[in-house]
Amino acid sequence: MSLFSPLTLPSGAVIPNRIAKAAMEENMADDDHAPSAELLRLYQAWAEGEAGLIITGNVMVDARAMTGPGGVVLEDDRHLDRFRAWAEAARSRGAGAWMQINHPGRQMPAGLGQETLAPSAIALDLGKQSNRFRMPREMTAYDIAEVERRFVATARLAERAGFTGVEIHAAHGYLLSQFLSPLSNHRQDRWGGALENRARLLLDIVRGVRAAVAPGFAVAVKLNSADFQRGGFSPEDAQAVVAMLAPLGVDLVELSGGSYEAPAMMGASRDERTLAREAYFLEFARGIAAVATMPLMVTGGIRRHAVAQKVIDSGIAMAGIATALAIEPNLPRNWRLGRPDVPTLKPITWKNKPLAATAHMAAVKYQLNRLGRQRRTAPGVSPIWALIVSQADARRRARRYRRWMEERSVRTEGLAMPRKTDRHPDACP
């Protein structure tokens, strides 16, 4: 099977090749937290690069719960025209365009000034950086039901905007991943304890989304292959959850791993000198493939044609590429034309893994911002400089976000947290 063979999903949708632009957090929203002109140019570049599937960075289902400042929010149809333009840019060369939808749970920066929710009142442990995140409040049953409704409403709006699918983010230590992990979920009710209970919210969201969208609209899940923390979500847990997802109409499961506490998803924390370590979740995926009835996708460190082809040859349906496509958006097209491109950032070998992961993300965002401004990427950027630039931008965007939330609260007279009655049919609760 070639990297450039099409893939037919269970829903009937066809992906033109096996290379996916995996999600990266851009933090490039406009003043309304809708897609900006720079974001549209970035996705146009990826479309022209001929990725078969383009998955957006985080789109938040709740404006009060952000993975970072400058994030895109889709709660209602007020700015749906800008989301339509985003979908059109991503689909302009025939790629599938999926919106990744997410809620951060306890992984929301404290500087955004919002209350933090999580399955249990357990703070992130990031050593000296722990104060960057608040102690979360344990979610009530109403909070959980509201999150479920928000995921479903955002998926419905994504379909109206012209996206061809959604990816429900249940990895990397965000809210749904927090429910899955026994380290962050100490609940004693129907959402805690046994894995079947910890997976309940994810499974209910998948059922709700599948029922709310058209049969041909793709529904995917991003799942950790493991948390890479002692006592956390294990590879055996991942296999069990994939088996639970099998009868629910899921079109694809993307396998990654790690969280803010154990950033295994960051290539910078890995030895990049060997092919075997480049696709560093592939071994976990092989075990999960034994129970999966839907196509699988592996993301994590892939930057060479030979490694991407190895992923496909192993029986995995799609190779997800993130950092390499931030450096060279034309990578799929170049590979198809026989060019041996291997896009690489400066390696980060710092002992502080959370800080190294943050610097890696900053270096990636540095490339994304340059592409959005139609400038050439700068893969040789100093990680320290990228981190300084990123932190300055984050502080600026955080101030803007706090003002936006204050203005929004006044303007809508409390509709930032709508009542149980008098809802717009396409608005989140």
Confidence (pLDDT) at 267:
44
| Inter-residue contact 288 to 245 (CB < 8 Å) | no
The pLDDT tens digits of the residues spanning 382-404 come to 999 999 999 999 999 999 999 99
Q: Which CATH number fits domain 7-345: 3.10.20.600, 3.20.20.70, 3.40.190.10, 3.20.20.100?
A: 3.20.20.70
Task: Quickly tell me which residue has 């979360």 as its tokens.
Answer: 136
Q: How far apart are CA 283 and CA 363, in angstroms?
A: 27
Q: How far apart are CA 162 and CA 246, in angstroms?
A: 26
What's CA 418's distance to the chain center, in Å? Answer: 26
Q: How far apart are CA 146 and CA 109, in angstroms?
A: 21
Is 60 exceeded by the pLDDT of residue 34?
yes
Confidence (pLDDT) at 412:
64
Ramachandran bin of 414, using left for φ above 0, alpha for ψ from -120 to 50, beta for the remaining angles = left
Q: How far apart are CA 174 and CA 260, in angstroms?
A: 9
Using DSSP, state whether 100 is helix, strand or coil.
Answer: strand
Using DSSP, state whether 375 is helix, strand or coil.
Answer: coil
Percent of the chain surpassing pLDDT 90: 77
Question: In this predicted structure, which of 110-124, 129-143, 218-232 has the lowest mean pLDDT?
Answer: 218-232
Distant-in-sequence, close-in-space partners of 40: CB < 8 Å, separation ≥ 6: 85, 86, 89
Is 60 exceeded by the pLDDT of residue 276?
no
Is 50 exceeded by the pLDDT of residue 416?
no
Choice between 314 and 145, residue whose per-residue pLDDT is larger? 145
Confidence (pLDDT) at 260:
72
**CA-closest candidate to residue 87, choices 33, 32, 162, 36:** 162
Q: How far apart are CA 214 and CA 57, in angstroms?
A: 23
Confidence band (pLDDT; 50, 70, 90) for 414? Answer: very low
Confidence (pLDDT) at 357:
83
The answer to pTM > 0.85 is yes
Strands 53-55, 96-102: pairing kind: parallel
What's CA 67's distance to the chain center, in Å? Answer: 10
Question: In this predicted structure, which of 4-8, 228-232, 241-245, 293-297 has the lowest mean pLDDT?
Answer: 228-232
- How does 4-43 read in b/e, with b if 16+ C-beta sit within 10 Å? eeebebebebebbbbbbbbbbbbbbbeeebbbbebbbebb
Instruction: Enumerate the β-bridge partners of residue 380.
Output: none
